[in-house]
Chains A and B, each alone.
Chain A
Amino acid sequence: MANINSGGIDSNTYDAIVIGSGITGGWAAKELCEKGLKTLVIERGRMVEHIKDYPTANLNPWEFKHRNILPLKDREENPILSKCYAYEESTAHFFAKDNYHPYVQKRPFNWIKGYQVGGKSLTWARWTQRWGVIDFEANAKEGIAVDWPIRYNDLAPWYSYVEQFAGISGNRDGLPQIPDGEFLPPMDMNCIETHLQKSLASSYKDRHLVISRTANLSQALSGRGPCQYRNLCFRGCPFGGYFSSNSTTIPAAERTGNLSMITHAVVHSVIYDESKQKAKGVRVIDALTNEATEYFAKVIFINGSTLNSTLLLLNSTSSRFPNGMGNDSNELGHNLMDHNYNGRITGEYDGYEDQYYAGRKPTGSYLARFRNFGNDKQTDFLRGYAYACNGFREINKAEGVNIGSDLKNTLSEPGLWKMALVSMGECLPSHQNKISLSKDKVDRWGIPLLEIDAAFGDNENNMMMDILKSGAEMLDKAGFKNIKTLDTKDAMGLGIHEMGTARMGLSSKTSVLNKNNQVWGAENVFVTDGACMTSGSCQNPSLTYMALTARAANFAVEQLKKNNL
């Protein structure tokens, strides 16, 4: 850390520092700024301004040089990213490149990163089911890992709070596993989705297909949207039709006049004040010049995305915390989770030839969890799974069609209705699934490389067998034909729902964060991104991160007012 440019302590001092500007950093910045705190957001990547910096947002398919297929050279240079469903010619600029940001895979793990203002909130899938009562109780009931220090009721008002601001479309379905929230009108299901919904309702008591709750605006909200049903969200939306930090929370923070932001700024470590027993600031390295600078604040929010937030804590050592900040429990870095998206079930349906759809729905249908829930009890695995379901009419099936005008005419018309199910399986927290710092390899800023050592275990693998069997059975009962199942057997990471590694808990002896997301032993440091998760549920996690962040930020402001931080 040579050449520290302190710039004078006063000019580098803020009320609050937020590390990262993705889905949780944006929320932390908004809440802290709106409560009057002078807040510095530190982003490691480049600026991405809403609309202005969405270069592909209005391009037609034929306007991409490679028609949205990435060149071989790019795929070879980015073997991990190339496995990501959203990494395409139209979106490649929103993903951090493999070769520039290496990490060590002790066991195969696909780490997908978005290093820019807005982070992965630009490219997320926007599915936003609440977590249910069972999700926060499961660890305690089953004796897995440690208990969550909060319950659903602690979070419920904050779910409502973030839903109303973010704008979540959905239907009030009355399902306890995905509690209802403050929804904008739901988007339509198409006829094959409705068909499956009805079939499930008549064949089973516990199987419910609903329209996914989604952070796309079915109505205009606070000058944003409405959604134009282009389904090009991953490119950034010129209509502000979906929630991202760029479109929503960062502009709100800016409007307060309290926001400062630096970009190309990699946080090296959090500085611990041994005498005051709290953090006093952060060491930052300019990503372009490698110049180091320190910034100071009363409260620090770490929102660097799960793996980077924990990397930062691990790299923040002091006499008080020789093994990483908040690591009295030695659990820091452990209990890495993801969701298991490897299960795929498809089927074709003969019928509804006289029906179609118009517009491009930026979401799908959600088959809510039914395993180990209600009266269901499985012996082969704990927890459960949901399915992301998508019904559509096939357009590129050319098998058995003669070339020439027959082929052209066939492919110019929609084919059979098809249903595609993708699994979202809960992953148990395991101490063996862990991340740590490399002892001998560093990145281009001198920060130790992250080593990832994790894999799905027996519970996830047993669950996958049931996922495929049950999915095929449900499609069969609904009259689908040519049903196919597939376990892609991809390594962890491609769910891009990495969670855990700095879990919340009831005690500093067994967890890293307390019930308010404060770091044990450095209570003015908060971690509110996926790193904090104590278990994984099977619901998409981002909405829960948002609620936890808003809750923690408001708690931090209260404590600051009481001089408790």
Chain B
Amino acid sequence: MKRREAIKNLAIFTGGAIMFSSGLLVGCNSSEVRIWLSDDDVLLLDEIGETIIPKTKECEGAKAAKIGTYMKLMADECLTKKERQIFLVGLTTIEDAAREKFSTDFMDLKPIQKKELFMEMQSQAEKEKKDSIEKSIAIIPIHYFQLFKDLTIHGYFTSEIGITEARRYEAVPGRYNGCIDYKKGDKAWATS
């Protein structure tokens, strides 16, 4: 990272004040919120991550990149207490939403159902963000879905698969060329 990029990679890791999103209150009355993350939760997080960044014909997705292990580590060691709470409540919200919408456990949903569920959550997250901006709220609340999405993106694109297969990586470039040809479809450099 360069000096001039003084803003850290991910806003959620800057430790700034965060308010709870109203979105996460939806499912609170049905299931108990976790106080810690289990090995089973890693499998759940793998599915959440894989739905956000799936395996494609190009390369493996978030599950193969061990996104569940990564997200558990972030929740246990890197997120602020408030972010962790949003994370934990968010897991329950996702589980409850799956049961409410499909009468099935999230883990047993078909990929297309998981995606459908998440698309709704993403719309809700984006709407809340837009509303906050319109109301000029100084600190935009973090929506639990946005948190899972950001973690998946960061975790996947800092994994070996994300870096070397989804994007391009040169450990030792050996030269700098300020201008090369680019055609649509060429991969992005994984690191800057």
Interface residues, chain A, CB within 8 Å of chain B? Answer: 58, 60-62, 65-73, 75, 82, 85-86, 88, 125, 127, 187-191, 193-194, 228-231, 234, 341, 344, 353-362, 364, 388-390, 392-393, 395-396, 398-400, 402-405, 407-409, 411-415, 420, 422, 488, 494
User: What are 29 A-B pairs at a CB distance below 8 A?
Assistant: A62-B160, A69-B9, A69-B78, A72-B15, A125-B2, A188-B179, A194-B178, A228-B173, A230-B173, A355-B180, A355-B182, A356-B179, A358-B176, A361-B176, A388-B4, A389-B4, A395-B189, A403-B51, A403-B118, A404-B52, A404-B53, A407-B53, A408-B53, A408-B54, A409-B58, A411-B153, A411-B166, A412-B166, A413-B185
What residues of chain A lie closer than 8 Å to B157, measured between beta carbons? 395-396, 411
B123 to chain A, nearest CB (A): 10
The answer to whether A72 touches B80, judged by C-beta atoms less than 8 angstroms apart, is: yes
What residues of chain B lie closer than 8 Å to A190, measured between beta carbons? 178-179
> Given A392-B192, A402-B119, A420-B4, does the pair A358, B173 have CB atoms closer than 8 Å?
yes
What residues of chain B lie closer than 8 Å to A403, measured between beta carbons? 51-53, 115, 118-119, 122, 149
B147 contacts partner chain A, Cβ-Cβ < 8 Å: no
A289 to chain B, nearest CB (A): 34
Task: Say which residue of B10, B13, B178, B183 sits within 8 Å of A361 (CB atoms).
Answer: B178
The answer to whether A229 touches B174, judged by C-beta atoms less than 8 angstroms apart, is: yes
Kindly state the separation between the CA atoms of A412 and B6 in the bound complex, as whole angstroms.
Answer: 24
- Closest-by-CB residue of B relative to A212 is B4
- Closest-by-CB residue of A relative to B70 is A67
Kindly state the separation between the CA atoms of A400 and B130 in the bound complex, as whole angstroms.
Answer: 12
What residues of chain A lie closer than 8 Å to B176, measured between beta carbons? 187-188, 229, 357-361
B158 contacts partner chain A, Cβ-Cβ < 8 Å: yes
List 9 tightest A-B contacts by C-beta distance, closest first: A188-B178, A359-B176, A359-B173, A125-B3, A356-B182, A67-B158, A414-B188, A190-B178, A85-B6
B158 to chain A, nearest CB (A): 4
What residues of chain A lie closer than 8 Å to B192, measured between beta carbons? 231, 360, 392, 395
Q: Give a binary string over B120-141; 1 marks a CB under 8 Å from any A CB, 0 the rest.
A: 0010001000000000000000
A456 to chain B, nearest CB (A): 16
Find the residue from A72, A341, A399 having the highest chain B CB count within 10 A.
Answer: A72
The answer to whether A359 touches B1, judged by C-beta atoms less than 8 angstroms apart, is: no
The answer to whether A409 touches B56, judged by C-beta atoms less than 8 angstroms apart, is: yes
B68 contacts partner chain A, Cβ-Cβ < 8 Å: no
> Given A229-B175, A341-B6, A359-B174, does the pair A408, B74 have CB atoms closer than 8 Å?
no
Q: Give a binary string over B92-114; 1 marks a CB under 8 Å from any A CB, 0 the rest.
A: 00000000000000000000000
The answer to whether B191 touches A61, judged by C-beta atoms less than 8 angstroms apart, is: yes
What residues of chain A lie closer than 8 Å to B4, measured between beta carbons? 364, 388-390, 420, 422
Kindly state the separation between the CA atoms of A404 and B13 in the bound complex, as whole angstroms.
Answer: 24
B44 contacts partner chain A, Cβ-Cβ < 8 Å: no
B170 contacts partner chain A, Cβ-Cβ < 8 Å: yes
Task: Say which residue of A66, A390, A398, A404 sits within 8 Å of B5 (CB atoms).
Answer: A390
The answer to whether A412 touches B187, judged by C-beta atoms less than 8 angstroms apart, is: yes
The answer to whether A414 touches B163, judged by C-beta atoms less than 8 angstroms apart, is: no
> Given A357-B178, A359-B176, does the pair A62, B159 have CB atoms closer than 8 Å?
yes
The answer to whether A189 touches B3, judged by C-beta atoms less than 8 angstroms apart, is: no
The answer to whether A69 touches B10, judged by C-beta atoms less than 8 angstroms apart, is: yes
Kindly state the separation between the CA atoms of A190 and B178 in the bound complex, as whole angstroms.
Answer: 4
Kindly state the separation between the CA atoms of A359 and B169 in the bound complex, as whole angstroms.
Answer: 10
The answer to whether A188 touches B3, judged by C-beta atoms less than 8 angstroms apart, is: no
The answer to whether B187 touches A354, judged by C-beta atoms less than 8 angstroms apart, is: no
B186 contacts partner chain A, Cβ-Cβ < 8 Å: yes
Q: A354-B182, A422-B4 are in contact. List 4 more A-B contacts (CB 8 A).
A: A67-B70, A344-B6, A396-B153, A396-B157
The answer to whether A189 touches B178, judged by C-beta atoms less than 8 angstroms apart, is: yes
What residues of chain A lie closer than 8 Å to B183, measured between beta carbons? 354
Kindly state the separation between the CA atoms of A364 and B81 in the bound complex, as whole angstroms.
Answer: 36
What residues of chain A lie closer than 8 Å to B3, measured between beta carbons? 85-86, 125, 127, 388, 422
B181 contacts partner chain A, Cβ-Cβ < 8 Å: yes
- Closest-by-CB residue of A relative to B148 is A403
Q: Give a binary string over B13-49; 1 marks a CB under 8 Å from any A CB, 0 the rest.
A: 1010000000000000000000000000000000000
The answer to whether B174 touches A66, judged by C-beta atoms less than 8 angstroms apart, is: no
Kindly state the separation between the CA atoms of A402 and B192 in the bound complex, as whole angstroms.
Answer: 25
Find the residue from A61, A193, A389, A414 having the highest chain B CB count within 10 A.
Answer: A61
What residues of chain A lie closer than 8 Å to B78, measured between beta carbons? 66, 69-72
B77 to chain A, nearest CB (A): 4
Kindly state the separation between the CA atoms of A404 and B6 in the bound complex, as whole angstroms.
Answer: 30
Kindly state the separation between the CA atoms of A540 and B171 in the bound complex, as whole angstroms.
Answer: 29
Kindly state the separation between the CA atoms of A361 and B179 in the bound complex, as whole angstroms.
Answer: 12
A513 to chain B, nearest CB (A): 29
The answer to whether A356 touches B180, judged by C-beta atoms less than 8 angstroms apart, is: yes
Task: Say which residue of A360, A392, A395, A405 sits within 8 Å of B54 (CB atoms).
Answer: A405
Kindly state the separation between the CA atoms of A68 and B179 in the bound complex, as whole angstroms.
Answer: 29
What residues of chain A lie closer than 8 Å to B173, measured between beta carbons? 228-230, 358-360
What residues of chain A lie closer than 8 Å to B73, measured between beta carbons? 65-66
The answer to whether A228 touches B172, judged by C-beta atoms less than 8 angstroms apart, is: yes
B155 contacts partner chain A, Cβ-Cβ < 8 Å: yes
What residues of chain B lie closer than 8 Å to A88, measured between beta carbons? 1
A267 to chain B, nearest CB (A): 30
Kindly state the separation between the CA atoms of A187 and B176 in the bound complex, as whole angstroms.
Answer: 7
The answer to whether B77 touches A71, judged by C-beta atoms less than 8 angstroms apart, is: yes
A563 to chain B, nearest CB (A): 45
> Given A61-B190, A67-B158, A82-B15, does the pair A353, B77 have CB atoms closer than 8 Å?
no
B98 to chain A, nearest CB (A): 16
The answer to whether B181 touches A354, judged by C-beta atoms less than 8 angstroms apart, is: yes
A45 to chain B, nearest CB (A): 22
> Given A67-B70, A412-B167, does the pair A395, B188 have CB atoms closer than 8 Å?
yes
The answer to whether B77 touches A73, judged by C-beta atoms less than 8 angstroms apart, is: yes
The answer to whether A360 touches B191, judged by C-beta atoms less than 8 angstroms apart, is: yes
> Given A359-B170, A388-B4, A403-B118, does the pair A62, B163 have CB atoms closer than 8 Å?
yes
What residues of chain B lie closer than 8 Å to A355, measured between beta carbons? 179-182
What residues of chain A lie closer than 8 Å to B185, measured between beta carbons? 413
A100 to chain B, nearest CB (A): 20
- Closest-by-CB residue of A relative to B154 is A67
A395 to chain B, nearest CB (A): 5
B90 contacts partner chain A, Cβ-Cβ < 8 Å: no
The answer to whether B177 touches A358, judged by C-beta atoms less than 8 angstroms apart, is: yes
What residues of chain B lie closer than 8 Å to A414, measured between beta carbons? 182, 186, 188-189
The answer to whether A398 touches B171, judged by C-beta atoms less than 8 angstroms apart, is: no
Find the residue from B74, B115, B153, B178 having the highest chain A CB count within 10 A.
Answer: B178
What residues of chain A lie closer than 8 Å to B115, measured between beta carbons? 403-404
